[in-house]
């Protein structure tokens, strides 16, 4: 399943709007829309931030996009908890 489709389903299940998710992430709504419609790539760090904002289990979305392979990105991901 594509990450955007999954996020869309979670938003529907939680009765949340894209704007509400964007507010939690502190990004423009267009960024969330781009993720959902597949026009934006999602890195592991961003996926983890979305997991936190949606109160999803750790690495639920990260597994869909793939874990980082370089040390800098691994550290960034670990810093989020």
pLDDT, residue 7, reads 97
Nearest to 32 by CA among 58, 42, 61: 42
Model confidence pLDDT, tens digit, residues 23-74: 999 999 999 999 999 999 899 999 999 999 999 999 999 999 999 999 998 9
Nearest to 26 by CA among 49, 10, 48: 49
At residue 33's C-alpha, the angle toward residues 9 and 60, to 5°, is 45
- Checking if the pLDDT of 1 tops 80, the result is no
pLDDT, residue 29, reads 98
- Checking if the pLDDT of 81 tops 90, the result is no
Note if the pTM is more than 0.85.
yes
Cβ contacts of 74 within 8 Å, gap of 6 or more: 67, 68
């Amino acid at each position: 399943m594509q990450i955007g489709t999954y996020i869309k389903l979670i938003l529907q299940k939680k009765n949340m709007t894209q704007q509400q998710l964007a507010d939690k992430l502190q990004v423009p709504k267009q960024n969330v829309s781009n993720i959902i419609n597949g026009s934006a790539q999602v890195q592991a760090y961003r996926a983890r931030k979305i997991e936190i904002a949606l109160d999803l289990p750790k690495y639920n979305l990260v597994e869909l996009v793939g874990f980082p392979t370089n040390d800098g990105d691994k550290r960034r991901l670990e810093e989020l908890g």
